Structure 1
Amino acid sequence: MRARLGEQIIAEADQDDLVRIEGNWYFPPKSIADGALSPSATPYTCPWKGDAQYFDVAGRTDLAWSYPTPYATAIERVGTDFSGYVAFDPSVTVES
């Protein structure tokens, strides 16, 4: 699968390596293209996943997010450790 914004490929990985949470595909950290994401200062804490890190993509604010250290209960609920995995706003195309 790949995530792209226009023609820019942001992430690419086998579907088996991704994690699906609440309708979003989360890409493993190693699948993110070098320099594709810039950390954002936007704060957010999910009540069940924990503190999020937002990212800007190609100069567009907050189009990606990750949970660097999700709650242990969230990992248990999802069934796999998704620490650092990255999901994308619907304006980013995720395709197989």
Structure 2
Amino acid sequence: MKAIWKGTVVAESDDTVIVEGNHYFPAEAVKPQYLLPSNTRTMCSWKGEARYHTLFVDGDANPDAAWYYPAPKEAAANIQGRIAFWKGVQVVE
């Protein structure tokens, strides 16, 4: 699977975990040069607290387009150490 934004592959892996229709990529499969930390936090009742990254590609920012659960609840343990995308990021085979 590949995560693509603005024509740039920001993540690529054959090992994604699908939860609620979202592909969670291993953190090491995401290219760190495209991630900027964000202060945004959200809470999911069964996964726990999500934290976000802004994607930054060729001078363009996509705020909070990547998210992860640093300490997911037990029910979501399979996404520990993984990052997912939204906000116009295409995930394709």
TM-score (norm 2): 0.88
Matched, 1:94 2:91: yes
The structure whose residues are more often strand, as a share, is 2
> Identity percentage over the alignment?
39
Counterpart secondary structure, 1:91: coil
Q: CA deviation at 1:68?
A: 1.2
Superposed counterparts of 1:1-96, under 5 Å: 1-14=1-14, 17-58=15-56, 59-75=61-77, 81-96=78-93
Q: Residue type of the partner of 1:72?
A: E
| Root mean square deviation of aligned Cα | 1.1
Q: Residue type of the partner of 1:9?
A: V
- Contact 2:35–2:55 under 8 Å retained in 1: yes
Moved more, 44-53 or 81-90: 81-90
CA distance in 2, matches of 1:56, 1:88: 10
Q: Residue type of the partner of 2:79?
A: F
CA distance in 1, matches of 2:49, 2:3: 23
* Structure 1 ranges of 4+ moved more than 3 A: none
Q: Residue type of the partner of 1:28?
A: P
Report how many residues are paired. 89
Deviations 1:12-46 (A, max 9, x none): 011xx100000111101110013111111112111
CA distance in 2, matches of 1:88, 1:38: 14
Counterpart secondary structure, 1:52: strand
TM-score (norm 1): 0.86
